[in-house]
Amino acid sequence: MNSVFDELYTKYHQDVFNFLIYMVHNRQHAEDLVQEVYIRVLKSYQNFEGKSSEKTWLFSIAKNVAVDHFRKQKNWKNRILEKFDWGRSDLASGETLPEEIVLANEEIQEMYQCLKECSTDYRLVIIMRYLQDLSIKETSEVLEWSESKVKTTQHRALKWLKQEMTQRLRKGDENIEEIRLERP
């Protein structure tokens, strides 16, 4: 079991951490939740039947841990929308953090801001499909949805995200024009 656990941890630790930080928007909570995920893995690996891939199974556990975290919060809906804890930098991993990547590109930063404001279902699908590179099938297994529901939610999420981004970029352009008009 130790070698299996070590292999799972080595292969998927950063992906699980990234998924959880996208969900909870707080590095410390994400670190705590990653520990909870691996505690659940240790407790339940003997029950893993292999009907899905280990990665899908692991992300199902991570999703459930995140949902449990939100349920435990007094105002869990507000917690979902919290901002990233940008000031902390004590993460043990030396890999580039999601927020460091976001800061590098203003449009990507806007996209992440929009992502924080969308529904939980939209966020789950976008994170799993585009940030974690799960297939439609893997995403449906993790979320325990039909593949058609994943496809429909993905389509709606992308449509919503595109509209929101367009509106934000237009507002940004209008603000730039106003500044230009005000200058002598």
pLDDT in tens, the chain (184 residues): 577 778 888 999 999 999 998 888 888 999 999 999 999 988 888 888 878 888 898 999 999 998 888 777 655 444 444 443 434 444 445 555 655 554 455 666 777 788 888 888 998 998 888 888 889 999 999 999 999 999 999 999 999 988 988 887 777 656 555 544 554 4
CA distance 15 to 9: 10
In this structure, what token pair is assigned to residue 55? 């990665």
pLDDT of residue 83: 40
Q: What is the 3-state secondary structure (H, E, C) of 119-135?
A: CHHHHHHHHHHHHCCCC
Is the four-CA dihedral 108, 109, 114, 116 of positive or negative sign? positive
CA distance 60 to 101: 26
pLDDT of residue 70: 79
Write out the E strands in the chain. none
- Give the domain CATH number at 176: 1.10.10.10
In this structure, what token pair is assigned to residue 27? 């590095």
Say if residues 141 and 56 touch (Cβ distance below 8 Å).
yes
Reference 67, options 44, 40, 88; nearest CA is 40
In this structure, what token pair is assigned to residue 83? 């901002």
Domain that holds residue 12: 2-182
pLDDT of residue 137: 93
CA distance 167 to 14: 33
CA distance 77 to 75: 6
Looking at the 3D structure of the chain, how many domains does it have? 1
Q: What is the residue whose two structure tokens read 């934000």? A: 168
Q: How many CB atoms lie within 10 A of CB 113?
A: 14
Q: Using the CB atoms, write b or e for 77-97: b if 16+ within 10 Å.
A: eebbeeebbeeeeeeeeeeeb
